[in-house]
Amino acid sequence: MKRILILVLIGISMLACSKENPRRFSVEALKDTFISLEGKKIPFKEILEKHKGKKILIDIWASWCPDCLKSIPEIQKIQEEHVGVTYVFLSLDKNKTDWKNGIERLNIKGNHYFIESGWDGEFGKFLDLNWIPRFLVIDENGKILVFDATKATDNLIRQSLEIM
């Protein structure tokens, strides 16, 4: 009986550990279309290509989200500490007016896009997006270093930004 229990526990732990975070975006997520501040539709792939060769910190947020608002001062500290990093803010606001007003009101510096497809688009599905804020770090070659951080204070964010 003990052997069976041990084997079951080993099997469960192996299954729990076997799910790795993806290192590359899916083709579908890369095709998902976002809106720039200027109103231009842009596939996510082009956003990444625009910043290739630099590390990218992606912050998925909304101006109505209390946890997102709490994280902004921490993101601003990270921006001061890591000036060579590109900062991309992807908004899940309910509309573009609230999104733009939030950027201005909160003085958020970086590259801003509105997630046109919302939570349920291909980008959201790829991330299994169910909570914001959500932070990702992408390396200079487009590899995902941090996939599922939900707090700006997550040590993995700073660690991955320091790796060169």
Neighbour-count burial of 164, counting CB atoms closer than 10 A to its CB (0-12 exposed, 13-18 middle, 19+ buried): exposed
Determine the pLDDT at residue 109. Answer: 97
Categorise residue 118: left if φ over 0, alpha if ψ from -120 to 50, beta otherwise: left
Could you give the domains of the chain? 23-162 (3.40.30.10)
Per-residue confidence at 164, pLDDT binned at 50, 70, 90?
Answer: low
* DSSP-assigned letters across all residues of 86-104: EEEEEE--SSHHHHHHHHH
Neighbour-count burial of 38, counting CB atoms closer than 10 A to its CB (0-12 exposed, 13-18 middle, 19+ buried): exposed
Six-digit token string for 159: 């660690």
Angle between helices 66-81 and 155-162 (to 10 degrees): 30
Determine the pLDDT at residue 10. Answer: 40
Helix (H, G, I), strand (E, B) or coil at 45: helix
pTM, whole model, 2 decimals? Answer: 0.86
pLDDT digits (tens, 9 = 90+) for 2-18: 444 333 334 433 333 33
Is 40:112 a contact under the CB 8 Å cutoff?
no
Determine the pLDDT at residue 21. Answer: 81
Which phi and psi angles does 84 have, rounded to 5°? -85, 0
Determine the pLDDT at residue 18. Answer: 36
pLDDT at position 20 over 80:
no
Average pLDDT over all residues of the chain? 89
pLDDT digits (tens, 9 = 90+) for 95-146: 999 999 999 999 999 999 999 999 999 999 999 999 999 999 999 999 999 9
pLDDT digits (tens, 9 = 90+) for 25-44: 999 999 999 999 999 999 99
Determine the pLDDT at residue 162. Answer: 87
Alpha-carbon gap, residue 94 to 80, rounded angstroms: 29
Q: What is the CA radius of gyration of the chain?
A: 18
Determine the pLDDT at residue 17. Answer: 39
